[in-house]
Amino acid sequence: MLTTLSGWKITNSPQGYPFMRKHLTSAIAIALVGLALASPALATETVTALPLADFFDVVLDESRGRLYYTAGHPHDVLVATDLDGANPTTLTGLEGASGITLSEDAASLFVALAGSNAVSRIDLATLSEAERFALPTDVCPGSVAVTAGYVAVGHSCNQYAGTGLYGGVGVLDPTTGAWNPLEAPGPFYKPYVTAAAGSNGLFVTGDLGLSPTTLYTIGIYDGIGDTISSRSNTGSNLRDLAISPDGGLVVQASGYPYQHDVFGVFALNPVLAYETTNYPNAAAWSGDGFTVATGTDSAYDDDVRIHHRDSPTPFATFELGARLAPRGLAITADGSTAFAVSETGGSFALHVLPTGPVASTLTLTTSQTAEVGTSTEFTGVLSFTDGSDSAGQTVTLTRSYADVVQALPSVTTGAGGAFSFSDVPQVATTITYTAAYAGDASHGASNISTDLQVTKRATDLTIEVATATGKKNRNKVVVSAQLGDTYTNRIVTITASDSRGTRVIASGAVDGGGILDVTYRVRRTTTFTVEFAGDAWYLPASASTTYVK
């Protein structure tokens, strides 16, 4: 269900100051139905309502074509949808479900249950709770991150559950259920934790909503956390943290400064700052580590920006027309599509944001071998990853071998993006055929190559011996060599071999019928051989026959 821009409203900034905020309204009926596992094609920017009463966290499970969402305390739900926000499935009974993170093998989802002093493990194959790890009373976990086989947990009953004591961070061993609280200095107010596949036992943490912000890097050794480094005054009103997949960088989204600062994970040294705008509140890395999505709660500017890893300036920006929820960003492994959760008047929606041209793919198929000079058929398909129509597109073709590159006539794709062409290779070698699509403003370029092993043709060559007729031809034979089709060479050589040796008795071009004759006096048993040296298309050949005297 798409929402539409309908007006403006007054709301408050993260610092409490009123400002104008664009307002989205929608008339949406939500049916909770079973989750469709097949992810839809992502074509253009879309907005779909989410069945959430509130929002705390979102995680992308690209391998299953899903997104997972939590609403935080006092709600008890985990919601799963397709990648376009459709087909929601809701798991209940997860008291105060807040922070979520995928296991290292992506088979499970760990959920911080602020309302039950526990961490839940969801089996993603069945989308059901597999086990629950009880934590000490008054821990109230609100944030989780996985590294080196352990689950880092940020907890605070006062903030994540609404009442009780402040907290800290601890380490859960999911294989044994062992729990070890951090004894070293660390966050206490509303600790938020983040880690990545390449973190190697490190995680970064800080207190959400606290000013000034202090960041801590914690290392886990034998299930026990210890503070490695810290940096104070990194900002105000921390809203989100995101570690790069290689574990080297962490992006901070704080209400101030009005940029997304990046720090080295180990020493928390400043590295660069992504240019954004007022009230940063979300950040996410692509799985390949090359792309960063940054988000802001900004009234008069774009809400989502996409950056290359080392470039402060964004290469794509998006205006949601609504308030971006804190921690409400995810992005695909290749950085091609970002996902943003927005909030308007207590209603939440998923925005699917293609970050650039839709990717294209090509296939090219032919036989593995072919004879030179023989017509060879090629077939291929141009596809767009969003599933849109790829008919009527131009595909350029080349063939190449050694240092030679030759253009072939271009083809136009037909129904379903299919195309075909034929070629008559003129050289017996390995020829590489390449099909290329140049792309356009809406579609990315792609190309594909395939090798064809072109072989020479077999040569048809025979030799016959017949007794010569006539009185003058006593003891003579007529040796006839016949050469079949060739490309350029029509010369054959005939030799005679007997007990006294081998000698050439004829060499020259065959006649129009492919025949070269020679008359030869035979004094003893003789073997006659005809040889053809071959040419660019045809293999060398020889044939022999023996005349018995």
Distance CA(201)–CA(341), nearest Å, equals: 30
Q: Are strands 202-207 and 191-194 parallel, antiparallel or unpaired?
A: antiparallel
Question: Looking at the 3D structure of the chain, how many domains does it have?
Answer: 3
- Domain harbouring 307, CATH code: 2.130.10.10
Q: What is the DSSP string of 204-255?
A: EEEEBT-SS-EEEEEEEETTEEEEEEEEE-S-EEEEEEEE-TTSSEEEEEEE
Residue 16: pLDDT over 80: no
The amino acid present at 111, given as its one-letter code, is V
pLDDT at 29: 28
Residues 151 and 225 occupy one common structural domain: yes
Closest CA to 78 of 56, 63, 45: 56
Spell out a b/e string for 214-227, using b for 16 or more CB atoms within 10 Å of the CB, else e: bbbbbbbeebbbeb
Question: Domain range for residue 292?
Answer: 4-354
Q: What is the DSSP string of 71-115?
A: --TT---EEEEETTS-S-EEE---TTEEEEEE-TTSSEEEEEETT
Tell me if 248 sits within 8 A of 274, measured CB to CB: no
Residues 364 and 507 occupy one common structural domain: no
Does 386 or 390 have the greater pLDDT score?
Answer: 390
Residue 1: pLDDT over 50: no
Residues 367 and 348 occupy one common structural domain: no
- Domain harbouring 496, CATH code: 2.60.40.10
Residue 30: pLDDT over 50: no
Residues 315 and 368 occupy one common structural domain: no
Residues 19 and 99 occupy one common structural domain: yes
Residues 397 and 280 occupy one common structural domain: no
Residue 18: pLDDT over 80: no
Structural domain ending residue among the three candidates 354, 377, 404: 354
Write the pLDDT tens digit of every residue in 396-441.
Answer: 999 999 989 999 999 999 999 999 999 999 999 999 999 999 988 7
Residues 193 and 91 occupy one common structural domain: yes
Residue 3: pLDDT over 50: no
Closest CA to 225 of 193, 191, 180: 180
Residues 436 and 506 occupy one common structural domain: no
pLDDT at 469: 87
pLDDT at 443: 83
Residues 189 and 54 occupy one common structural domain: yes
pTM beyond cutoff 0.85: no
Residues 420 and 512 occupy one common structural domain: no
Residues 270 and 402 occupy one common structural domain: no
Write the pLDDT tens digit of every residue in 441-492.
Answer: 778 899 999 999 999 999 999 999 999 988 788 889 999 999 999 999 999 9
- Domain harbouring 376, CATH code: 2.60.40.2470
Residues 431 and 447 occupy one common structural domain: yes
Q: At 119, is the pLDDT very low, low, confident or very high (cuts 50, 70, 90)?
A: very high
Structural domain ending residue among the three candidates 313, 337, 354: 354
pLDDT at 549: 84
pLDDT at 375: 96
Write the pLDDT tens digit of every residue in 266-312.
Answer: 999 999 999 999 999 999 999 999 999 999 999 889 999 999 999 99
Write the pLDDT tens digit of every residue in 39-75.
Answer: 333 446 899 999 999 999 999 999 999 999 999 999 9
Structural domain ending residue among the three candidates 455, 487, 502: 455
Q: At 359, is the pLDDT very low, low, confident or very high (cuts 50, 70, 90)?
A: confident
Residue range 89-94: mean pLDDT, rounded: 97
Write the pLDDT tens digit of every residue in 239-263.
Answer: 999 999 999 999 999 999 999 999 9
